[in-house]
Homo-oligomer: A and B are copies of this chain.
């Protein structure tokens, strides 16, 4: 009997295994598909791979600023696809090697909990095995959502998962259904790789999430317009027809589009079907219910990541994975979602944390803010990458940092500093008074804090 069996080896399962191995637990993995889960194989990692390519394509335009004269011959997505696969294969191999060197058994197949200490694993050929475990972590993740009348065929109509994992050739035009994070990320990438991109969004803006400032949506939309990405808000697909290798789409606003492919980017649902025979409790959307220690209704069975109702992020899954293992080891730790930074890799690198204009108002908190533009930042000028800005929010009375966002290069990396500032309740003055390299992009932070810390310059 294993000390711990982890079902699903995405970021959550991986993270749980890393800590369990450090602590000397005897563990096994059950994984139905590829090691690394959605994140590595068909979400975060391929997205950032292609995004890097898209940014490089953009940067070709500034090379002459550095005396680098090139002829742009060809943009070949097939080659990017193959090299992307190589990169992911390399990362998967390092997971496999880790498990091998630590002598961790990996049961390939679909796991079903048939007893609070037993998992039935059925592989793709129908072979069955029973794995016994003192503790179980369910980390089976999520799968793409679908919408009403659009049928996924992976030829004309596909999920973002399929696009990121399998698509090796790009059509001339793509209609993306959903202007959320994945839609905005893929929209930008496809645009840069030469595709004519349309985005249809049910709500009235890009990134229509409560935590995303409307300001961010506005700036991103302006950039999309410049890039030639066409957006339709408050709009749905009313009907479609596949004819002569194209999809004729009728939008709810009355317009008609003819596109090569449709990509569905309308959120994800938990991967919790058929996961047990012992009555593990789920909510009406299929999320596994857990208590504050990540335990299901069986105290030795934990659930983490996209399969529970917490932010559907690789890195909160990782946090939950470590916490579940600590709790298995006898601690009583609760995950905290208070200081989560968010990042979006689109036409801008975007990151945010904490409150914004709208959410502060909802909460009745009086805020004051500071801003700074990348165009005043010397490092950004040195890098010919000055399109961006930062906005930071502080409590009006005590000037403590409450949240903020960055649109511009390295936004996601810089956000970690603001995460600590939020955790440590830094005031504008403290944030301003750290020692910052000059020149560095990070200097946008002390300059954005300066007005609040020491009074306005203008």
Do B48 and A457 touch (CB < 8 A)?
no
Q: Please, how many angstroms separate the alpha-carbon atoms of A319 and B322 in the complex?
A: 40
**CB interface residues, A 413-450, toward B, < 8 Å:** 413-417, 419-421, 423-424, 433-442, 450
Do A439 and B48 touch (CB < 8 A)?
yes
Do A417 and B415 touch (CB < 8 A)?
no
**CB interface residues, A 136-179, toward B, < 8 Å:** none
Interface flag for A80 (CB, 8 Å): yes
Q: Please, how many angstroms separate the alpha-carbon atoms of A220 and B291 in the complex?
A: 51
CB distance from A426 to the nearest CB of B (A): 9
Do B23 and A454 touch (CB < 8 A)?
yes
A338 to B, closest residue via Cβ: B435
Interface flag for A241 (CB, 8 Å): no
Known: A319-B435, A439-B44. A67 touches B87 (CB 8 A): no
Q: Please, how many angstroms separate the alpha-carbon atoms of A117 and B351 in the complex?
A: 49
Cβ contact of A382, chosen from B49, B59, B455, cutoff 8 A:
B49
Interface flag for A78 (CB, 8 Å): yes
A415 contacts across to B, CB distance below 8 A: 437
Of A50-58, A265-273, A360-368, the one with at least 4 CB within 8 A of chain B: A50-58
- Listed by A's residue number, 20 A-B pairs whose Cβ atoms lie within 8 Å are A22-B456, A44-B439, A48-B383, A52-B384, A56-B59, A56-B66, A65-B87, A67-B83, A68-B72, A68-B75, A71-B71, A87-B381, A90-B381, A94-B376, A102-B457, A339-B435, A340-B435, A343-B437, A412-B440, A420-B421
Residues of chain A touching chain B, judged by Cβ–Cβ distance below 8 Å, are 11, 18-19, 21-23, 39-40, 44-45, 48-53, 56-57, 59-60, 63-81, 83, 87, 90-91, 94, 101-102, 193, 313-316, 318-319, 322, 339-341, 343, 351, 376, 378-379, 381-384, 410, 412-417, 419-421, 423-424, 433-442, 450, 454-458
